Amino acid sequence: MFARLLWKLLRGSRGRLAVAAVALVSGAAVISALLNLDLGVEHQLTQEFRTLGANVVVSPRQRATVTDAAPAVPVLMGKEAVIEAIERTRTSSVIAAAPYLYVIARRANTPLVVAGTWLDETPKLEPTWKLEGEWVTSREDSQRCLIGRNVARQFRLAPGAPLELKYFDRSARLTVAGVMDAGGAEDSQVFVSLPMAQYLAGKEGMIGLAQLSVTGSAQSIAEYAARLAKLLPGDDVLPIRQVTEAEAAMLHRIQLLIVSMVALILLLTALCVLATMAALAMERRADVGLMKALGGSIARIVGLFLAEVGVLGAAGGLIGCVAGVALSYWMGERVFGASISARWEIFPLTTGLMVIVALGGALPLRLLGKTKPAVILRGE
pLDDT in tens, 117-138: 999 998 888 888 899 999 998 8
Separation of alpha carbons 362 and 368, rounded Å:
11
**48, 95 in Cβ contact below 8 A?**
no
Give yes or no: residues 208 and 340 share one domain. no
> Is residue 11 classed as helix, strand or coil in its secondary structure?
helix
Give yes or no: residues 188 and 321 share one domain. no
**350, 321 in Cβ contact below 8 A?**
yes
pLDDT digits (tens, 9 = 90+) for 254-299: 778 888 888 888 888 888 887 777 776 666 666 666 666 656 566 6
Separation of alpha carbons 200 and 159, rounded Å:
22
Separation of alpha carbons 157 and 150, rounded Å:
10
Give yes or no: residues 198 and 331 share one domain. no
Question: Minimal CA–CA distance to 135: which of 146, 147, 127?
Answer: 146
pLDDT digits (tens, 9 = 90+) for 198-222: 999 999 989 999 999 887 777 788 8
Separation of alpha carbons 326 and 341, rounded Å:
10
Q: In Å, how far are 56, 125, 210, 300 from 239, measured between CA atoms?
A: 4, 15, 12, 63
Q: What is the rounded end-to-end Cα distance, in angstroms, of the chain?
A: 30
Give yes or no: residues 33 and 78 share one domain. no
Give yes or no: residues 195 and 340 share one domain. no
* Cβ density class 228-263: b for 16+ within 10 Å, e for less: bbeebeebebebbeebbeebbeebeebeeebeeebe
**341, 19 in Cβ contact below 8 A?**
no
Give yes or no: residues 194 and 114 share one domain. yes
In sequence order, what E strands does 72-157 have? 77-78, 94-107, 110-117, 130-133, 144-148
Separation of alpha carbons 65 and 197, rounded Å:
27
Give yes or no: residues 228 and 330 share one domain. no
Neighbouring residues of 368: CB distance < 8 A, sequence distance ≥ 6: 281, 284, 285, 288, 301, 302, 305
pLDDT digits (tens, 9 = 90+) for 165-174: 999 889 999 9
Domain that holds residue 167: 55-239
**83, 268 in Cβ contact below 8 A?**
no
pLDDT digits (tens, 9 = 90+) for 65-84: 444 444 444 678 888 899 99
Mean pLDDT across the stretch 148-163? 94
**58, 177 in Cβ contact below 8 A?**
no
Q: Please give the full DSSP string across 305-355, using - where no structure is assigned.
A: HHHHHHHHHHHHHHHHHHHHHHHHHHHHHHHTSS-----TTHHHHHHHHHH
End of a domain among 239, 266, 292? 239
Alpha helices in the chain (DSSP H): 2-12, 14-49, 79-89, 122-125, 149-155, 194-201, 218-231, 241-283, 285-293, 298-335, 346-361, 363-366, 373-377
Give yes or no: residues 263 and 328 share one domain. yes
Per the structure, the count of domains in the chain is: 2
pLDDT at 116: 94
Separation of alpha carbons 256 and 264, rounded Å:
12
Give yes or no: residues 115 and 201 share one domain. yes
pLDDT at 114: 94
**354, 320 in Cβ contact below 8 A?**
yes
Q: Across all residues in the chain, what is the average pLDDT?
A: 79
End of a domain among 201, 221, 239? 239
Give yes or no: residues 163 and 146 share one domain. yes
- Band of pLDDT at residue 111, cut at 50, 70 and 90: very high
Give yes or no: residues 162 and 252 share one domain. no
End of a domain among 216, 239, 262? 239
pLDDT at 6: 56
Give yes or no: residues 109 and 209 share one domain. yes
pTM above 0.75, yes or no: no
Q: In Å, how far are 122, 156, 173, 350 from 150, measured between CA atoms?
A: 19, 9, 20, 55
53 pLDDT higher than 80: no
Separation of alpha carbons 198 and 157, rounded Å:
24
